Every structure is written in structure tokens, then in C-alpha cells.
Structure 1
Amino acid sequence: MYRITRFMLAPLAVSIMLAAGCVNYAGIDHQGKLLSLDQASSNSLKDTLPPANWPRADWWTSLGDPRLGALIEEAYASNPDLQEVQARVAKANAFLDLRDAERFPQMDASAGVTRGRLSRFEDYSGEGHKYFTARNLAVNFNYTFDLWGGQRAAWESALNSAMAAEVDLQSSKLILTVNVVKAYNQLAYAWQVSELNRRDLARLSKLVELSDSRYNSGLDNLSQLKQVQSLKARSESTLIGALDDIEVARLQLSVLVGKGVDRAQSIERPASLQASVVALPAQLPAQLLGRRPDIVAARWRVEAENKNIDAVKTTFYPNINLAAAAGSHALSGDALFAGVSKFWNVAPTISLPIFDAGRLRSDLKAGNAELDVSIAHYNQVLTSALHEVAISVTQLRSFEQQIVVQRDACAIAQSSYELSQSRYKAGEDTFLDALNIEQQLIQDEMRLAFLNSKHIDSSISLMAALGGGFQEREAPLAKNTIN
């Protein structure tokens, strides 16, 4: 028997396509261009900072509070937003399995029994009023030859999308981790502010007592007493706000870890956190392409859209499908497996789009537009990533310099306060003078606490901008080059 193969059918299909002058995709292409590192990056950061290693996967441990790691693990397990992304990954993998299954032949079996009554119109004898029982047993086979690689391209597109979804999960974990760490840092700062406000309230309470005594002694007037009482009331209000900030920060953490309101009350006061030293990896920005999950995911989506276009282009070519069936049809049960009841058929089909009113070209234009969207998104993510690194480093430098100056200011204020205490005990200064100097010390310490908090926030932002310990794993397929 003469055997037909896909290699014999392919030349025939090409000949039919050329002879028919069918639908084609001439003149349809994408417009976007991938941004190169040379266009997006600058060497200015590398020239001004000492080299360092890339962030570790557990980069938050450098902040110095082991309880923070437990909160992050709790967030990984319970955060609803992260669970939503995990569901998207499962969906993308399921779609990948579907595209993979479409590349293989399909075979199914069927069996059935039909009981019916014939009318006179349906009865060949013209009598009608007859009953029948039809039994059938069949095996069906269907296979579309992937002559132009369209099914493989569709599978590779789904694979790239699944890879992007998995990397999105890592990006979501990084974002969640950053949000937890920043909320934890905000909680630590809120505690510091509340303590300093308590000190300020205690100072003003003593000042009110002193002013009241001086007023009763005729040394101060009522206006001076009311002014000090007003300052104390304002301090009490500020302390209430600071305590509210603690509760709000706790609630923000409880939301991030995916727990209810009651979880907020069990979150303890954080330890004193330490910011990371300003330094950048020596291979920045070249290695940033594989260290930032959002960049990696954006690149996978470009490749997915590119493969999707390859798949769409194959719909312009002739399609060859092979369908076959075999089984048995019988009106009586004992004849179901008899030779006269058996049947089979083979139906190879060649289809070629000749006129479709522009449907295929419109589909390809839409695919190229999606590719342009993905390329633009990749370029935007790459540019933003490099700017985020630059902004974080700039802020870190600034906060470090401000902290050095502010520590000097605190040291001077502390020395002045201690001197005022000594002078007060020696009778050289009044108690009012000592309290006023203490106010300056508290204000300087407030400023230092604020700068330390912002410094830690900028350090966290730098860890996130560098990818937070993410490292792209080896891809199952080599990616294409998009021009």
C-alpha cells in the first residue's frame, strides 16, 4: 500500500498555496525595539561606590531582627494577594499542558444504544409503526500535521507565558517582603516616636508645675502659665497620635501577613534595625537583567508574544488534517461484532485560506500590537529598574550624610543638657533653662530617629531594586532575539 507522509504532503501544500495566490501576511510586522543596556544604563553609580555582592535570598536578616523572618514566612503562607498570583501560575501551567496536548494525535472511543420508533415516512417499506434498536461501537482518530511548526510555536508561547507567571510569583514575593519589612520598620519608628513624646510630655508636665508655682509666687503672669499649659496639651495630643501610629503599623502588618485584626495585638515591638551599607555589585547593570524578577518576566512575555506571532503566521498556510474512524453498527445485538457490521473510514483533508475578508491579517496585526505592548513594557521596566537603583543609592548617600551631622547635633545637645543639669544643681541656671535645653535634645533625637527610619527604608528599597536575592534559573528553551 502506498504510504503518505508529512514530508510528501508539505510540497503539495506549498504548490497549492502558490498556485491559489491565497491570503498572505505581507507588510505586517511589529514596530517596537527592545532597549539595549547601553541605551538604558550609566556607569556613574559604579564609579562612585565600592563593589559588593548581590543581595542574598534572606537579605532582611542584615537588618538585625530575627522576628522579622517569621513574619515574612507567615506572609508567604497566608497573604491573599500572593495566593492569587500562585493561582495564576497554576492556570498558566494548565494552559501550557493544553497547548502541549494539542500537538499530539487525539483518539477516543464511543459506544451507544439507540431505541426508537419509525414513522411511515422514515420506514423504507412505507408501513411505519416499527421499532428498532441500533447499537454502535467506534474508535475515532484525529491528527493535524504541524507542517509549519504552528502548534510547537503555540506551545512555546504558552511555555514562555508560564515562565513569566512563575517569575511574577517571585516578583510578588519580593514586593510582599519589602512591604512587610517597611511596615516593620515603620512600627519600630512609631515606637521610638512614642517614647520621645512621652519624654517630652514628662518635661512639659514638670514645666507646668514650675510655671504654676512661679505664677502663685507672683514671678510669672497668667499668660505665661497658659502658654505652658497649651504646650503640654499639644504634647498629649501628639502622644495620642504616636500611639495610634503604633496600632496602625501593627494593623498594616496583620493585613500583609494575611491575618485578622486580632493578630495585630500580638505583634511585639521590633528590635533596633540597622540599614545596609551603600554598595553595589561590580557587574551592575549587566547582571541586573537576570536579577530583577520584573525584568525577567517582561522579557519572557516578549518571547511569548513573539512565538504567538509565529503560530498565527502558520494559519496563512495550507493545513492538513487526518481523521479516521473504525467500529461497528448493528440493529441486532448478536450482529454487533459480525463482519457485516464493521466499518472504517480515513479522511485526509487539506484546507487553504483563499478569501476571509481580512480576518487572518487582522489577527496577525493584533498579535504584532501585543508584541509592541510587551516590548514597550519591557523597555519601561528596564529603565525604571535602573532609575530605582540610582534613586535608592542617592537617597542612601543623602541620609547617611544627614545622619552623621544629626548625630553630632544630638551629641552637642546631650552635652548641653548635661551641662545645664550641672549648672542647675549648682544654682547657676534655673530649672526652666534646663527644661528648655532638654526640649532641644528631644527634638534632635526625634530628627535622628526619623533619618534612621528613612535610611533603613532606602536600604530596603535598594535591596528590592537589586532584585532581592532573585536569580533567573536556566530556561528550558533558548529565547529568540527580537529586533
Structure 2
Amino acid sequence: MKKSILTLSILLALGGCSLIPDYQRPEAPVADAWPKGPAYAAEAGQAGAELPAWRSFFRDAALQRAIQVALDNNRDLRVAALNVEAYQALHRIQRAELFPQIDARGSGTRQRLPGDLSRTGEAATNAEYGATVGVSDWELDLFGRLRSLSEAALEQYFATAQAQRSTQIALVASVADAWLTLQADRELLALSEETLRTYEQSLALTQRSFDVGVASALELTQSRSAVESARVSVAQYTRLVAQDRNALQLLLGNAVPDDLPAAAPLEQAQLAELPVGLPAELLQRRPDILEAEHLLKAANANIGAARAAFFPSISLTGRAGTTSTELSGLFKAGSGTWLFQPSINLPIFTAGSLKGSLDYAKLQKQIEVAQYEKAIQTAFSEVADGLAARSTYTEQLKAQRDLVAANAEYYRLAERRYRTGVDSHLILLDAQRQLFGSQQTLIGDRLAQLSSEIALYKALGGGVE
């Protein structure tokens, strides 16, 4: 009989109705295709395009090693992983509410009563021993309140798992950006040091010409100005290289390994080809979008819990065991005892708190819908920016390389004409400055191109193996 009651209660608890609204994914508030125009060339998405894993996307072996160090040691990523475990534990706690918590209890009492308190008028000693097994205050989930809360906790756990993926993708992209920035500033430092040596040689020649009365004081001053300008650049990039290394070390969560392979030059092919899928594929690829959808589902489940709170709740307490006035007789025949104590709680007047809880749950869902749509719009915008940068940077770099080549030829001709006395020293200094400036801009443009491609890789949801 007792087993039948317990079995029936479990079936009622697990088979109750659910008041969670049917979930429908909101329509994506973006276009079905990527933008078109002069900035996008003939870029078109390919259905089912698969992104390469980060080890395949980043070709530089030194960068691959740095990213792996960051994935092993970065503290933000470690916190994200611990958050996933924490929400997994919270889900287990909430899910456990669906099942009866069975416990065993043992008790023993001995009490002496003085004669004036006993019925016989003489001092007496009473004893009672007992041992029971049962459940206490187990709520039958007839209207799905506990299941709704369990589903909400599960969706929150899924959301934190996606948040961890977002953190990992962002970390991979940040390490790559920091690494390439460091390499760019190193190249700019080397260029500045080389330019400084060239300016110093030019100043030495101008000084000798000035000493013999060939060069003017103006030309000498112009040469000194160029040297000091180059020294400023050397100091600037020396500082930036040190700061870049510190920023990289913070992302790695550890010291930058001393045995890293030599970094590849920026002009070398650093990244693999990046295919672009369709906008709709972002919904299943971007972890921040998936995170927002799981939070939306959690809010939807909370509505079910708020609805169920309007209905009666039934709790059961049941125990079975043995009791005796003597410890030796605790398990003898005829000492059995049992208790079955159901209770029901029917909300009658709550001063509007239940209605307020339901309204709050519905408003939270509307907020999560807006957050989900905003995540989609943000993703679409970031990918569109990356596509615009891809084709335009290709043309910009080609033009900048041609400009560097033209300035190099201008400098070569200006130096020859200055040596033969055809042109003034001012023209030579102008050629030197233009070459130096165009070379600096080329390195900056190459870094910007690589950074934009990394940003596109991140925007498409890549970065996780």
C-alpha cells in the first residue's frame, strides 16, 4: 500500500501539465543577403561554408603557440569556464526538486519524571526509541512549476556555455591582434632606426659641406631637424613595443615564452582564406546569438513557473519505520509505525504579488527578445563591416605599395641629383620624408588589413576548435 502511494505520487509529479508558452524563435531583423555596393565588390555568401579552426586560420607558428598559451592560462577564460560549472551545479540543484528527498532518521529519548508530575505519584522513567525512513515536504509538480524552473536553469546553463565560447573566440582574436600589433611596431621601430641612420649620414655630409662653405646654414638646420624627427619616432616605437609586449603578456596570462619561433613578417601570408556563409547561418554559429536565445528560452520557461504559482500546490510527507520503549525491542514484531501527511496550499489573496510576478516574467521575455534581435543585428553589422574592409583594403594596400615604390624612386633620383649639384638639399630631405612616411603608412595599412580579417573571422563565429 505504501509503495503504491509513493509510486503514484512520483508519477503524478513527473507527469503533470506544463504551463510554459510554446517557444517560437523571433524573426531575424536583418536582410537575407549581405550588403552590396562599391565597397563590397562581388562578395557573396556561400551556403554551408565552414570556417577553419584557429590553428588553420593563423599560419604563423609563433602566433599559434602564443594563442595556445593564452587558452591555457588566461584568467577571463578560466572564470568563464568556472561559470559554466557553477550554472551546471545550479541546474542539478533545481532539477533535484522534482524528486523526493529520502532520508533515514533515528531517535532515542529517556526522561525521568518526579513523583508530583507522574500519574502514580511516584518517580518514573520513560523511554522511547524510533527509526524511520521517508520523505518530508515533497511538492507534487502537478502544474509544472518545478519543471519550468528546472528548464529555466538548464537554459541558463546552456547560455553560460555559449558565453564561454564567446570569451574563447574573443581571446583568440585579441591575442592575434596584440601579436600582430607588436610585430608591426617592431617593424616600425626597425624602419625608424634605419631612417635615423640615413638622416645622420646625410647630416654628416651636410656638416662637412657647411664647414667648407658649400652648404648653407639653412640646409644644415634642415638636416638636424630631420635627425631629431627620426629620434622622436625611434623613442615612440621603442615605448610602443614594450607596451605591446605587456599587453600580450596580460592576454596570455603568463610570461611570453622565450623559445617562441621567429615571428613571420607582416607582408608574409599570415591568414588562411576565409569563406563567408549566408546571414541565416550566423544564427547557429555565433555564440553570442545562441547565448541570447538560450536566455530567451529561460525567460519563456519562467513564465510557466509564474503561471503555475496561481494553482494549488500539494506537498507530501510520509515516513515508515519502527518504534519501541526499549532499544532491544526496536525491531521486534509489532513495533512498526507509519505516517502519511499530505498538505495543500491554495492561494486566495496575495495582494497582487502573483499577478505582478507573471507580468514581470512576461516583461523579462520581451527584454530577452529585444536582446536576441540586437545580437543578430550586431552580428550582421560586424560581418558587413568586415566584408567592406576586405575588398577596400586590398585596393588600398596595392595603391600604397605603388606609392612606396614611387617614393623610393623619387628618393633615389633626388639623392643622385643632389650629389651632382643639380637639386637642392631641401628636395632630398623632402624625398626622404615622403619615403619614410609612405613606408610607415604601408605597415599601418597592412596591420589594419590583418586586423579587419581577424575581426571578420570573429564576427562569423570562428575561433573554436
* TM-score after normalising by structure 1: 0.82
Mapped pair 1:56 → 2:49: no
Checking the alignment, whether the CA contact within 8 Å between 1:211 and 1:220 is kept in structure 2 is: yes
Match of 1:156 in 2: 151
Secondary structure of 1:355's match? coil
Q: 1:72 deviation in Å?
A: 1.1
Q: Does the alignment pair 1:73 with 2:64?
A: no
CA distance in 1, matches of 2:90, 2:413: 74
- Quote how far apart the aligned CAs of 1:7 are: 11
Aligned partners of 1:420 and 1:437 also within 8 Å: yes
Is the 2:61–2:261 contact (alpha carbons within 8 Å) kept by the matching residues of 1?
Answer: no
Is the Cα contact below 8 Å between 1:392 and 1:458 reproduced in 2? yes
The root-mean-square deviation of aligned C-alpha atoms, in Å, is 3.4
- Name structure 2 gaps, 5 residues minimum: none
Match of 1:272 in 2: 265
Change (3 A) 1:140 1:49: same
Structure 1 residue aligned with 2:108? 113
Separation in structure 1 between the aligned mates of residue 339 and residue 438 of structure 2, nearest angstrom:
91
Distance apart, 1:367 and its partner CA: 1.8
CA distance in 1, matches of 2:226, 2:79: 50
Shift of 1:433: 5.1
Aligned with 2:344: secondary structure? strand
Displacement of 1:408 in angstroms is 1.1
Alpha-carbon contact 2:12-2:141 (below 8 Å) kept: no
Does residue 254 of structure 2 align to residue 246 of structure 1? Answer: no
Point out the more displaced range, 396-405 or 424-433.
424-433
Give the Å deviation of 1:328.
2.8
| Match among 363, 374, 380 for residue 386 of structure 1 | 380
Give me the whole-angstrom Cα distance separating, in 1, the residues matched to 2:220 and 2:237.
26
Match of 2:87 among 92, 98, 101: 92
Matched AA of 2:234: L
CA change 1:367–1:139 in 2 (3 A) is same
Calculate percent identity across the aligned residue pairs: 27
SS of aligned partner of 1:141: strand
Unaligned runs of 5+ in 1: 15-24, 472-483
Q: Does 1:377 align with 2:361?
A: no
> Does 72-81 or 267-276 show the bigger shift?
267-276
Equivalent position of 2:296 in the other structure: 302
Counterpart-to-counterpart distance in 2, 1:384 and 1:402: 26
- Residue 179 (str. 1) matches residue 174 (str. 2): yes
Label 1:7 to 1:340 Cα distance change in 2 as closer, same or farther (>3 A).
closer
Matched, 1:166 2:161: yes
Provide, for residues 381-440 of structure 1, a one-character-per-residue CA deviation record: whole Å limited to 9, x for no partner: 111110111112222333222111111111212223344455567676677755542332
Does structure 1 retain, via aligned residues, the 8 Å contact 2:168–2:464? no
CA distance in 2, matches of 1:180, 1:127: 87
1:280-316 superposed Cα distances (whole Å, 9 cap, x missing partner):
53x4101110111100111111011111211221121
Preserved contact between residue 206 and residue 219 of structure 2 (Cα < 8 Å): yes
Q: How does 1:404-419 map to 2 (within 5 A)?
A: 404-419=398-413
Q: Structure 1 residues 78, 44: CA separation in 2 closer, same or farther (over 3 Å shift)? A: same
CA contact (8 A) 1:298 1:377 kept: yes
Paired AA for residue 270 in structure 1: A
Task: Mark the CA change 1:97 to 1:289 in structure 2 (over 3 Å): closer, same or farther.
Answer: same
CA contact (8 A) 1:308 1:367 kept: yes
| CA separation of 1:226 and 1:264: change in aligned 2, threshold 3 A | farther
Alignment of 1:467-478 (within 5 A): 467-468=461-462
**1:79/1:115 CA distance change after superposition, 3 Å:** farther
Distance 1:304 1:250 in 2: 42
1:316-345 deviation line (CA, Å, top 9, x unaligned): 112222221122333432232234543211
Q: How many matched pairs?
A: 450
Distance of 2:10 and 2:130 partners within structure 1:
36
> Any conservation in 2 of the 1:34–1:375 contact (CA below 8 Å)?
no
Matched, 1:336 2:330: yes
After TM superposition, the structure 1 = structure 2 runs for residues 100-139 of structure 1, keeping only pairs within 5 Å, are: 100-114=95-109, 118=113, 123=118, 134-139=128-133
Q: Distance in 2 between matches of 1:450 and 1:47?
A: 23
Which of 31, 35, 40 is the aligned partner of 1:44?
35
Counterpart of 1:318 in structure 2 is 312
Deviation sequence 1:431-454 (CA, Å, 0-9, x none) = 775554233222211111110000
| Deviates further, 325-334 or 187-196 | 325-334
Q: Secondary structure at the match of 1:286?
A: helix
| Partner amino acid, structure 2, of 1:272 | P
1:37 is matched by which residue type in structure 2?
A: A
Note the alpha carbon deviations across 1:178-233, whole angstroms, 9 max, x for none.
Answer: 10000011011111110111122112211221232233223344454344323322
2:80–2:164 Cα contact (<8 Å) kept = yes
Greater shift after overlay, 42-51 or 344-353? 42-51
Q: In 1, distance between residues paired with 2:312 and 2:455?
A: 54
Give, as a single letter, the amino acid of the residue that structure 2 aligns with 1:65. Answer: D
Specify which of 384, 393, 397 is matched with residue 391 of structure 2.
397
Mapped partners of 2:453, 2:281: distance in 1: 20
Q: Greater CA deviation, 37-46 or 194-203? A: 37-46
Q: Which amino acid aligns with 1:465?
A: A
The structure-2 alpha-carbon separation of the partners of 1:463 and 1:399, relative to structure 1 and needing over 3 Å to count, comes to same
Match of 1:204 among 199, 202, 225: 199
Cα distance in 1 between the residues matched to 2:368 and 2:133: 44
Per-residue Cα deviation, 1:225-264 (whole angstroms, up to 9, x for no partner): 344323322321221110111111111111111115xx37
Q: Does 1:289 align with 2:283?
A: yes
Is contact 1:184-1:270 (8 Å) kept?
Answer: no
Tell me, yes or no, if the aligned pair for 2:134 and 2:318 is still in contact at 8 Å.
Answer: yes
